[in-house]
Chain A
Amino acid sequence: MAAGKYTVVTRTAASQAAALAALALLVIAVALPAFASRSLIQDMFFILTMLTLAQFWNLLAGYGGLVSVGQQAFVGLGAYMLFGGAILWGVNPVAGLLLSGVFALLLAIPMAFFAFRLQGAYFAIGTWVVAEVVRLSVAQWKAVGGGTGTSLPRDARDAMWGVEWIEMIFDTRASAARDILAYWLALALAVATIGGIYLFLRTKRGLALAALRDNVEAARSVGVDSARMKWLVFLVAAFGTGIAGGLIFMQNGRISPDSAFSIIDWTAFVIFIVVIGGIGTIEGPIVGVLVFFALQTLLADFGAWYLMVLGGVGIAVMLFSPGGLWGLVSGRTGIELFPIRRRLNRRD
């Protein structure tokens, strides 16, 4: 192709600095188990899995306009398939994570078929109803403990790939080694999720997704295939959310329908994270999960006050900064940590 008068650039000085910082952080994060306490590893596991769930919900609602309050269906089913796989077929829990993702994806196909007929608030309620149906169905599954739930069998826990090796190199007990394994898997999942979403947004389809986020009617009239984008986003989010669900309960070691399909834990908190951080950006959920974790730690001793403060903070952010905390920062400074914006420059 002949070189034209203009070029397109996405890199910025801030983004290059951010890329270096991210690389350094990643190295530290991988090495963290060598010097961090077990409780810090567990906290980091929590942050990383919530971040993954938040990134997928942001992809759905922030970009795709699909405000689902039924993501706990994928967390729960994903978790139960990991347990079912281990108990019934002796599947190694680490391999079982793939079952989690695949079964969540299989659930998403009929769910989308049904829910995509609904718009806005009806879509939200529709997804919630589906999640409840799945919860009630799984509660009938006697092999995994029915309504009361079950634990991951001892032999499945002992068989987890990599645990023996971690025990050896870090010289720890098996339970601590399992936490380290779960932490590394959560780190890999979060990095793959953020990296995948970022790379996708830089493609032509990503451009269409950003256009849909801003204005559906206008996007349709300039040739964007909105139906196809919605399917794509819904299925990808289901797959990733299912894996995250499997991982959360693999680390937990115990499962019950009420905990695995909890709308508070896997959807309400996730919405909170995305909204206070900044919906429709990659940076938003990262900021949001840190604020959420800080609030949770600070308010751990105050019982029900904790939820009230979360609600109050959520309302305050929505009223005073609809773009979230990251929206405040980027609105004032124009900073982008994940450079997606295509800038047109004259070739000199």
Chain B
Amino acid sequence: MTPILSLQNVTKSFGALTVADGVSFDVPKGQALGIIGPNGAGKSTLFNLITGNLSPNAGRIEYDGRDVTKAPPMQRCLSGIGRSFQIPQPFDRMTVFENLLVSATHGRGLPERAVTDDCAEVLERTELIEVANRPAGGLTLLQRKRLEMARAMATRPKLLLLDEIAGGLTEAECVALVETIKAIHAEGVTIIWIEHVLHALNSVVERLLVLDFGKVIGIGAPDAIMASKEVREIYLGIEV
């Protein structure tokens, strides 16, 4: 099966600090991949490289069989890459509905009238319909996290990147969010999910990738990865 996303030797440095060091991996179409690693391992940087918010110093990124290494974020979004930000980045002075309207119209190149019901449907699924007409700047943390996901979904992505979407939520909130993510995944959307809340992550993903100091130190089935010596030492800080 052709991978929807393929990274080949992707390297990114800020001065002397290498945040992505020869990263290579493939994500098959329809898979849910989890990314774990300690803080500062370069997880969010990896997302920024995939979405085009950063460009790599070396290496190649292929999406849907095409080289997108140099494509701007706008173009990658139009071709089906949606993302949520680790720290929610809502359009504060616009309403929740307008936040989605921006991404649905510009992310898919459609007129406003054509996406109204679609946006409403995403708001219903993410349980934001009640606050649709409120300014996004006044939302609670859970609502902001949901808005991050809703805005990415409104672009109807083929590949959805979620960056610590469960962080900071209560257990009940987390469970509800996981259900929504599972439902999106069940529709065939490929998901890459960075998360520290491991039980939430492992209840969704089929494969796990471990990142440390910008390097991939392990990739495979979640059970095998969680059990491996390197991961327990480096990521969980447990002496084995």
- Residues of A in contact with B (beta carbons under 8 Å apart): 1, 4-8, 204, 207-208, 210-211, 213-215, 217-226, 280, 341-344
Interface residue B240 (Cβ < 8 Å from any Cβ of A): no
Q: State whether B97 touches A342 (Cβ < 8 A).
A: yes
Contacting residues, chain B, for A280 (C-beta < 8 A): 93
Q: Given that A208-B106, A211-B102 are known contacts, is A221 also in contact with B77, CB under 8 Å in the complex?
A: yes
Binds A, one of B108-116, B195-203, B220-228: B108-116
Q: State whether B91 touches A214 (Cβ < 8 A).
A: yes
Q: State whether A221 touches B53 (Cβ < 8 A).
A: yes
Most buried by B among A4, A211, A226: A211
Query: Which of these, B102, B108, B123, B152, contacts A219 with CB under 8 Å?
Result: B102
Q: State whether B155 touches A222 (Cβ < 8 A).
A: yes
Among residues of B, the one whose C-beta sits closest to the C-beta of A281 is: B93
Most buried by B among A4, A220, A221: A221
Q: State whether B77 touches A1 (Cβ < 8 A).
A: no
Among residues of A, the one whose C-beta sits closest to the C-beta of B107 is: A223
Q: State whether B93 touches A214 (Cβ < 8 A).
A: yes
- Give the complex CA separation of A207 and B104 in angstroms: 11
Sampled A-B contacts (24; CB under 8 Å): A1-B113, A204-B111, A208-B102, A208-B105, A210-B94, A211-B91, A213-B93, A214-B93, A215-B91, A215-B92, A218-B91, A219-B91, A220-B53, A221-B53, A223-B78, A223-B109, A224-B74, A226-B74, A341-B98, A342-B95, A343-B95, A343-B97, A344-B97, A344-B120
Closest beta carbon of chain B to A176's beta carbon, Å: 45
Q: State whether B133 touches A211 (Cβ < 8 A).
A: no
Most buried by B among A204, A208, A213: A204
Q: State whether A207 touches B98 (Cβ < 8 A).
A: yes
Contacting residues, chain B, for A213 (C-beta < 8 A): 93
Contacting residues, chain A, for B120 (C-beta < 8 A): 4-6, 344
Q: State whether B116 touches A221 (Cβ < 8 A).
A: no
- Give the complex CA separation of A77 and B41 in angstroms: 53
- Give the complex CA separation of A3 and B89 in angstroms: 32
Q: State whether B112 touches A207 (Cβ < 8 A).
A: yes
Told that A222-B103, A223-B155 touch, could you supply 18 new A-B pairs with CB distance under 8 A?
Answer: A4-B120, A5-B120, A8-B116, A204-B106, A208-B105, A210-B98, A211-B106, A219-B91, A220-B73, A221-B53, A221-B73, A222-B82, A222-B151, A223-B74, A224-B74, A225-B74, A341-B95, A342-B95
- Give the complex CA separation of A185 and B123 in angstroms: 47
Among residues of B, the one whose C-beta sits closest to the C-beta of A8 is: B116
Interface residue B23 (Cβ < 8 Å from any Cβ of A): no
Contacting residues, chain A, for B102 (C-beta < 8 A): 207-208, 210-211, 219, 222, 224
- Give the complex CA separation of A218 and B93 in angstroms: 14
Contacting residues, chain B, for A7 (C-beta < 8 A): 116
Interface residue B132 (Cβ < 8 Å from any Cβ of A): yes
Closest beta carbon of chain A to B104's beta carbon, Å: 9
Interface residue B117 (Cβ < 8 Å from any Cβ of A): yes
Most buried by B among A7, A219, A280, A342: A342
Contacting residues, chain B, for A207 (C-beta < 8 A): 98, 101-102, 105-106, 112
Q: State whether B117 touches A222 (Cβ < 8 A).
A: no
Query: Which of these, B93, B97, B106, B114, contacts A223 with CB under 8 Å?
Result: B106
- Give the complex CA separation of A288 and B140 in angstroms: 33
Among residues of B, the one whose C-beta sits closest to the C-beta of A343 is: B133
Contacting residues, chain A, for B92 (C-beta < 8 A): 214-215
Interface residue B126 (Cβ < 8 Å from any Cβ of A): no
- Give the complex CA separation of A341 and B98 in angstroms: 8
- Give the complex CA separation of A219 and B133 in angstroms: 19
- Give the complex CA separation of A342 and B123 in angstroms: 15
- Give the complex CA separation of A210 and B105 in angstroms: 13
Q: State whether B112 touches A204 (Cβ < 8 A).
A: yes
Among residues of B, the one whose C-beta sits closest to the C-beta of A4 is: B117
Q: Given that A221-B77, A225-B74, A343-B133 are known contacts, is A210 also in contact with B116, CB under 8 Å in the complex?
A: no
Interface residue B145 (Cβ < 8 Å from any Cβ of A): no
- Give the complex CA separation of A217 and B117 in angstroms: 26
Closest beta carbon of chain A to B177's beta carbon, Å: 20
Closest beta carbon of chain A to B47's beta carbon, Å: 10
- Give the complex CA separation of A343 and B101 in angstroms: 11
Closest beta carbon of chain A to B127's beta carbon, Å: 15
Query: Which of these, A8, A220, A344, contacts B74 with CB under 8 Å?
Result: A220
Contacting residues, chain A, for B112 (C-beta < 8 A): 8, 204, 207, 342
Q: State whether A223 touches B94 (Cβ < 8 A).
A: no
Q: Given that A6-B120, A8-B116, A280-B93 are known contacts, is A342 also in contact with B53, CB under 8 Å in the complex?
A: no
Q: Given that A5-B120, A6-B116, A211-B102 are known contacts, is A221 also in contact with B51, CB under 8 Å in the complex?
A: yes
Interface residue B235 (Cβ < 8 Å from any Cβ of A): no
- Give the complex CA separation of A7 and B119 in angstroms: 11
Most buried by A among B93, B111, B132: B93
Contacting residues, chain B, for A221 (C-beta < 8 A): 51, 53, 73, 77, 83, 85
Contacting residues, chain B, for A344 (C-beta < 8 A): 97, 116, 119-120, 123, 132-133
Interface residue B34 (Cβ < 8 Å from any Cβ of A): no
Query: Which of these, A218, A224, A225, contacts B90 with CB under 8 Å?
Result: A218
Among residues of B, the one whose C-beta sits closest to the C-beta of A207 is: B102
Q: Given that A211-B102, A223-B77, A224-B106 are known contacts, is A5 also in contact with B93, CB under 8 Å in the complex?
A: no
